Amino acid sequence: MLKLARGASHIRSALTNDKRTGAISEVMDEFRKLNGDSELPVFQRLLEEELRRRGSNDIASAVREFKTPRRGR
């Protein structure tokens, strides 16, 4: 839950679309580094839900639409 709260706050603090996209990427990359790829889709959905709960529907939509690049194998 702390990762969701921290991630949502970080993303919401971005003032422009470019910075928001960068913040989403940072949050997703950090989660992936700590937890691996398998849980990333679940985290992304939960992050979207958390942002909607906070009234940030446009930002939640950006999180939902964000495509995380796959890591090289």
Both tokens of residue 50? 């958390």
Q: Which two tokens stand for residue 73?
A: 């194998």
Comparing CA positions, the residue from 2, 51, 47, 50 lying closest to residue 28 is 47
The residues spanned by each domain of the chain are 2-65
* Mean pLDDT score across all residues of the chain: 92
pLDDT in tens, 39-55: 999 999 999 999 999 99
Average pLDDT over every residue of 51-71: 91
Higher pLDDT, residue 73 or 71:
71
The C-alpha atoms of residue 66 and residue 3 are separated, in whole angstroms, by 18
Q: Report the distance separating Cα 24 and Cα 44, nearest Å.
A: 10
